[in-house]
Structure 1
């Protein structure tokens, strides 16, 4: 399917700006590009009822968190919570570059969102990000009362690398290694670091995420084969997905990660997990953080929020 006109506008903007491909940069340079791009591509941040920066203990020191409460929520209310794990190939991405997305989700959910600023590669390679996300889940569940969140209604979600980490947290929760999330929201997730799906062959140039760029991210995060085939890096390689939390999985057509995301959704379904799979055929990877040009970004966030809210209301 042809690319959405809004997404094409972003590609034109990137081309006209002369922005280099991320894989031609150092990690620090790529981070600078990502931070500079966020206010250009994202809509103005929505007002929310409350925002608080805090930290939790981690295996290598304090982990920064940011807590949001949706607009119109009662300050004293105990709310359901989405623990949000940002994307960026485990190399880029910050609380700041995902502030707009988290504010939107908090408002669409009418709930709490807690964003986790896990350690990044290549300074901190696999499994550092997994360990930090696990530590954050332990902290949030243990401190549910003080955080004014419902301990039985803690979900996990994220985009791209954050979708990967969310799927891993759901598997770890099933196995008792972390407090089990009640739901998982996976936006165009990375599920197999082998990077051999056919969709890699369809996305070799022009897009913000190409096959080459994705492999650059993987090389920084998990440079060795044993790490890449570990299910904590490649959840599609887990022996079983049975028993994990119900899921909302979004994939998009113009994305090297498309086929592995579809494969993950199909495996969840085949192994008895309740799953809603949304495929946005005319969109490209990272469009959720391009809402100033791509209105479908907010529509997708609303759809995911509706799925999660419905689960909370039935549980």
Structure 2
């Protein structure tokens, strides 16, 4: 059989068909879209059989200079924190949720289950940071909040039973944007050791110059949606779209960024962002791997237990995170380009 164009994976298409009749119509305002998505979160989790696993957790609220307070939740890999602490020196992943800067949070069933499962399966501590929604709060508050969460995790690593020399930063979609910005802020401000930057279908260029197409969404509609998202997050100042903490792909230098693993999806309009970022890091001599998931959409990696690729990506991410338990690889210096 010959395929003339990319197609959505049959398993992902089946899940989309099952969920579509259950999803509410998207509201016109950010607040309405947020309410609709929050109402759909438990429905989607029920349909996919997603339930939070039993691991120890603890919450904190941080004061952030010139920005709203930031919540965070710590997840240990075992039901008892003491059992995890006995292991000592566990790797720590500081992770940020996705949602177009306007929806989702660490209390959502899907994200909470995601953080719990990732901590348990990789045998690590996960620190999930929450940031303010746009348009009520705008850039640069969000990266400053995420930076504060990372700084707190690094400073309290040993108290948590973790190792400040085995830190990782990660995020998906808009959370990938903030993860990359946080890693860049760390490079510029503190140079704390970061062993891994993990980005999943990340949004990295708010100029939208790398925005691709997406099946089922007319290009004009996609461009308008992107324009609305950017305006909500950054406000009317178009110059901010090139600020490297808003658009990490627009940085003038990538030297000193941590080793990075990126996952993109073939049918995702953001695929170009992640792959261009991988090329930029590689050109700067940063160890980077980028995997494109064929036949997948922006959200299908979240269809655990229903889409084989989603389960495989989870296992691949867990294997990557488990390398944090090992000594880092000392690569020779890359050839200058």
> In structure 1, what is the equivalent of residue 38 of structure 2?
35
In the alignment, is the contact (CA less than 8 A) between 1:204 and 1:211 conserved in 2? no
Distance 2:70 2:77 in 1: 23
> In structure 2, what is the equivalent of residue 136 of structure 1?
149
> In structure 1, what is the equivalent of residue 334 of structure 2?
none
Deviations 1:132-168 (A, max 9, x none): 0011111111112222211111110000011111111
> In structure 2, what is the equivalent of residue 62 of structure 1?
69
TM-score, structure 2 normalization:
0.85
> In structure 1, what is the equivalent of residue 332 of structure 2?
none
**In the alignment, is residue 190 of structure 1 matched against residue 203 of structure 2?**
yes
Distance 1:109 1:18 in 2: 32
In the alignment, is the contact (CA less than 8 A) between 1:211 and 1:256 conserved in 2? no
Higher mean alpha-carbon deviation, 34-43 vs 301-310, is at 34-43
Match of 2:99 among 75, 88, 110: 88
User: Per-residue deviation at 1:108?
Assistant: 2.1
Match of 1:241 among 254, 269, 277: 254
**In the alignment, is residue 52 of structure 1 matched against residue 62 of structure 2?**
no
Higher mean alpha-carbon deviation, 106-115 vs 25-34, is at 25-34
TM-score, structure 1 normalization:
0.90
Q: Could you list the runs of 5+ residues in structure 1 that have no partner in the other structure?
A: none
Match of 2:10 among 5, 10, 17: 5
**In the alignment, is residue 217 of structure 1 matched against residue 229 of structure 2?**
yes
Whose Rg is larger? Answer: 2
Q: 1:271 to 1:206 in 2, by over 3 A?
A: same
In the alignment, is the contact (CA less than 8 A) between 2:15 and 2:306 conserved in 1? yes
User: Per-residue deviation at 1:210?
Assistant: 4.4
Q: 1:219 to 1:13 in 2, by over 3 A?
A: farther
Aligned residue for 1:164, secondary structure, equals helix
Distance 1:202 1:62 in 2: 36
- Length, aligned pairs only: 311
Distance 1:14 1:45 in 2: 17
Distance 1:54 1:184 in 2: 23
Q: 1:114 to 1:271 in 2, by over 3 A?
A: same
In the alignment, is the contact (CA less than 8 A) between 2:95 and 2:129 conserved in 1? yes
Deviations 1:37-84 (A, max 9, x none): 222333323424312222222233432111111147634333111001
Q: Could you list the runs of 5+ residues in structure 2 that have no partner in the other structure?
A: 1-5, 329-337
